[in-house]
Amino acid sequence: MDTTQRTEQQRSADRRRRELLEAADRVVLRDGPQASMNAIAAEAGITKPILYRHFGDKSGLYAALAKRHTDALLNSLRAALDAPADRRERVEATLDTYLAAIEARPQVYRFLMHPAEGGQTADQGFDVGKHSVPLLRRMGEELATVIEERLDLGPGGQQLARVWGHGIVGMMHAAGDWWLGERPCSRAELVRSLADLLWGRLAAAGDKMGGPGF
Amino acid sequence: MDTTQRTEQQRSADRRRRELLEAADRVVLRDGPQASMNAIAAEAGITKPILYRHFGDKSGLYAALAKRHTDALLNSLRAALDAPADRRERVEATLDTYLAAIEARPQVYRFLMHPAEGGQTADQGFDVGKHSVPLLRRMGEELATVIEERLDLGPGGQQLARVWGHGIVGMMHAAGDWWLGERPCSRAELVRSLADLLWGRLAAAGDKMGGPGF
DNA sequence: CATGCTTGTTACTAGCGGTAACCCTAGTTT
DNA sequence: AAACTAGGGTTACCGCTAGTAACAAGCATG
């Protein structure tokens, strides 16, 4: 039958695809986001055109590769977010999960976050945030839906949740990026500080000199 | 005299340098972060090697160009941060200043934030956050010092302030990036939502379904 | 046997960042 | 006046990248 044959070929193609992705993964883990198509093809034991047949484009391969890690990370985050604990604990667990992930595999993290996608072709003119940094966007949207599902924010709550989702993810990301570079404190301390920030300690803190401090 | 001659030449060189930077600015404003050295040289009416004599390197030109915009933006932010108003107003003014800036010149913004710096040379291996995204780092540090100067955060306050500085900047950046792409609401609404987040509304909100909500 | 179809290769294009070698004009020195 | 040096500037190149066209097998089916 055509169908069985097709599925057979499909399976074979999928297996190859997975193998190629794993090779790409290894190279990225070794070389960071500058991993070249040549290097990836060599690691996979083949040559460039096959890569292009499978993924069409460098950004295609990037997208496929990113999806794997993004899905994995998002699953961990969802687990932390859905744990049966109070809100503060869940927030801290989520922050810690994210930070542990970027701490464990900084090269992958960097590949996902700073893909350096701008080559010489395409991408012309004002596509801020179209294909860029898709992980941050997905995380932001995900968090937004969780916030909107769980919290009672009154009218306009949906939009508020989206702003907060992207804002909190950005906070987590920037603080994590900085922390990963300088390592000024332990992960637990960082988590506590960020949770404190989200818990309004910024607004609650007293002024230091003169003025209307209490 | 030697000195006058030297200063004369220095002046001339500085003027050229400024002209080149302005040409580069124009190209970046037109082409975004993919602006090539060739294009910049052509816009300036000269050829590549002179660019390299002046800036040594593409990242050298990038750094010089970024410093201009970064300094300008940071000055605006400092002004908003130092205004004689209460804390909430100052925070909102700062957020609005940043968002207005990226709204006015998205190409420049993108050049600063996503420089796509990874070429084929240098930058090898695990330099997360060394030269990358210097604007975010500078803004984070700046905000951290302001927080630490003004707020009484008790013991460990300095570190807390740095975490918060980078975290808040990241929140602002990510939310701004998302907002710039989707434009889901007005700038004023975005500012209010973010300030609400910083003011602890996330922790204060009630649960939506069952559970220990109040 | 011939016809496809998938898998793979070699060999190329076009454009990038970066550089070596040269050219040419202005001013100084003898 | 003639020689000589100092910068600003250009052409022509290198090595690299992403991406592609064209060609060579293995293996099913008519």
**Number of residues written out for chain B:** 214
Residues in chain A, how many?
A: 214
The stretches of chain B forming alpha helices (DSSP H) are: 2-31, 37-43, 48-55, 58-81, 87-104, 106-113, 134-150, 157-182, 187-198, 201-204
The region of weakest confidence among A115-129, A199-213, B79-93 is A115-129
Which pLDDT score, from 0 to 100, does residue B175 have? 98
Could you tell me if residue B214 is inside a domain? no
pLDDT interval class at B115 (50, 70, 90): low
pLDDT at B91: 96
pLDDT tens profile B174-208: 999 999 999 999 999 999 999 999 999 998 888 87
Output the CA angle B30-B74-B90, nearest 5 degrees. Answer: 120
Amino acid at B155: P
DSSP 8-state symbol, A151: E
Is the Cβ pair B169, A173 closer than 8 Å?
A: no
CATH number of the domain at A21, please.
Answer: 1.10.10
Percent residues over pLDDT 90 in chain B = 60
- At B8 the pLDDT is 61
Strand C nearby residues, CB < 7 A: A 9, 12-13, 16, 45-50, 53, 120; B 5, 36-39, 48-49, 52, 56-59, 119, 121
Mean pLDDT of chain B: 84
Retrieve residue A138's tokens: 């997905």
Q: Which pLDDT score, from 0 to 100, does residue A3 have? A: 44
Q: What pairing do the DSSP bridges indicate for beta strands A151-152 and B206-207? A: antiparallel
A84 and A139 assigned to the same domain: yes
Residues A36, A136, single domain; the answer is no
The Cβ of residue A93 has, within 10 Å, a number of other Cβ atoms equal to: 19
Report which of residues A88 and B131 the model is more confident about: A88
Among A126, A190, A197, the residue with its CB nearest the CB of B107 is A126
Both B103 and B133 in a single domain?
yes
* CA–CA distance, A26 with A98 (Å, rounded to integer): 21
Total count of domains within chain A: 2
Of the candidates A175, A202, A183, the residue with the CA atom closest to the CA atom of residue B174: A175
- Asked whether the beta carbons of residue A153 and residue B205 sit closer than 8 angstroms, the reply is yes
A214 located within any domain: no
Q: How far is the CA of A98 from the C1' of C16 (A)?
A: 36
Considering any atom of strand D, list protein residues whose CB lies within 7 Å. A 5, 36-39, 48-49, 52, 57-59, 119, 121; B 9, 12-13, 16, 46-50, 53, 120
User: Rounded distance, CA A4 to CA A68, Å?
Assistant: 28
**Listed range (A131-145, B49-63, B149-163) with the worst mean pLDDT:** A131-145
Question: Tokens for B214?
Answer: 């109040």
Identity of the residue in B86, B136, B207 whose CB atom sits nearest the CB atom of A150: B207
pLDDT of residue A13: 77
Tell which of B10, B27, B56 closes a domain. B56
Give the nucleotide with minimal C1' distance to the Cα of A48: D19
Residue A32 lies in domain: 10-56
Measured CA to CA, the distance from residue A21 to residue A55 in angstroms comes to 10
